[in-house]
Amino acid sequence: MSVRKAITLQLEAGDYDRLAAEAKRLGMSPGALARVYVRTALAGNGETAAERRRRAGLAALQGLAALRDRLPEGEPVDVVQLIRDGREELDRRTAL
């Protein structure tokens, strides 16, 4: 059985309103969402926002390199078809 400890978090009215609106959208209480945010921040292993952005940027570049590697060499690329394919993939992912 885990022991819980309570803290009081004072927010500016605008910050609380945004927290409450997001909690409502997600179907949870503002307190529960605040706990999720705290846990997420603590699980960051001390990584700064700049380090997270750098890691995300590197992952995006790796994804582009993988895409480039899948393209046929020496053949023209139909950019419009690539965009259509990307939109279809995005639609499939959001439908899940």
Residue-wise pLDDT tens digits, 5-63: 999 989 999 999 999 999 998 889 999 999 988 888 787 666 777 887 888 899 999 98
Check residue 2 and give its pLDDT. Answer: 79
> Is a pLDDT exceeding 80 seen at residue 75?
no
Task: Report yes or no: 30 and 19 within 8 Å, Cβ to Cβ.
Answer: yes
In a domain, 3, yes or no: no
* CA 87/CA 66 separation, integer angstroms: 18
Q: How many domains does the chain have?
A: 1
In a domain, 8, yes or no: no
What is the rounded average pLDDT of the residues 74-80? 82
In a domain, 72, yes or no: yes
> Is a pLDDT exceeding 90 seen at residue 77?
no
Check residue 29 and give its pLDDT. Answer: 92
In a domain, 39, yes or no: yes
DSSP secondary structure letter of residue 44: T
DSSP per position, 39-96: HHHHTTTT--HHHHHHHHHHHHHHHHHHHHHHSPTTS---HHHHHHHHHHHHHHHHH-
In a domain, 6, yes or no: no
Residue 81: domain span = 13-95
In a domain, 1, yes or no: no
